[in-house]
Amino acid sequence: MKVSFHGHSIVQIETNGKNIIIDPFINGNGQTDLKVEDVKADVILLTHGHNDHVGDTVEIAKRNDSLVVAIAELATYLSWKGIKTHGMSIGGAYVFEFGKVKLTQAFHGSSYTEDNQNIVYTGMPAGILLTAEDKTIYHAGDTALFSDMKLIGERNEIDLAFLPIGDNYTMGPEDALTAAEWIRAKKVVPIHYNTFPVIQQNPEDFVSKLPDGVGLLLKPGETIEL
């Protein structure tokens, strides 16, 4: 399994012959190395409906005939755009051809802002547990620190976790350190920082405060193998 980070909250995963991308916010993202027209995606996983996470989902999905997996309300909204979707809800899991997806809680908002200044409710925000090739990846999405992260850590053997550290909209570095302790992941990668002025952070400092061997700083475009 190959896993790569591409700025903000974008994560790509190659597993079981499938290309998966999480939260493909590319156009308007000054932190990413990706170009929309180059993205190959069999599956798109979305944590919630905010524009900086849905991003270029519709264009990518139409060009690649991708399956979009998201919270039920967001999946329904996107299906109206003419793409294939699979709706889920928090606490639910489903085994796909590429692996098992389970949605967890995330404490945040979730809505999509259209060009006409209309704000569309898109259900609850979520985190994602993806299990494939006997490995489990946890993408926390946009979230505050919450105590049930302890339960997530107790009930799952997490090999790699992506945690937001930007503050203002999500938990900041201090709370993310607590989250890392609670989820007990073997490796923790910081995400959702430095894309906008209000979420400027020092990811090197965050990683240095994690236990030895746990913190992993991935620059946009860098890949690891699990």
**CATH no. for residue 111?**
3.60.15.10
Range of the domain at 102: 2-217
Residue 225 lies in a domain: no
Residue 223 lies in a domain: no
Residue 224 lies in a domain: no
Question: What's the pLDDT at 204?
Answer: 98
Residue 226 lies in a domain: no
Residue 222 lies in a domain: no
CA distance linking residue 182 with residue 150, whole number of Å: 5
**DSSP 8-state class, residue 140:** -
pLDDT digits (tens, 9 = 90+) for 97-147: 999 999 999 999 999 999 999 999 999 999 999 999 999 999 999 999 999
Question: What's the pLDDT at 178?
Answer: 98
Domains contained in the chain, number:
1
**DSSP 8-state class, residue 160:** E
Whole-model pTM: value is 0.98
CA distance linking residue 193 with residue 134, whole number of Å: 30
pLDDT digits (tens, 9 = 90+) for 148-175: 999 999 999 999 999 999 999 999 999 9
Parallel/antiparallel/unpaired status of strands 18-22 and 11-15: antiparallel
Instruction: State the pLDDT confidence band at 48, using cuts at 50, 70 and 90.
Output: very high
CA distance linking residue 99 with residue 170, whole number of Å: 28
Question: What's the pLDDT at 2?
Answer: 98
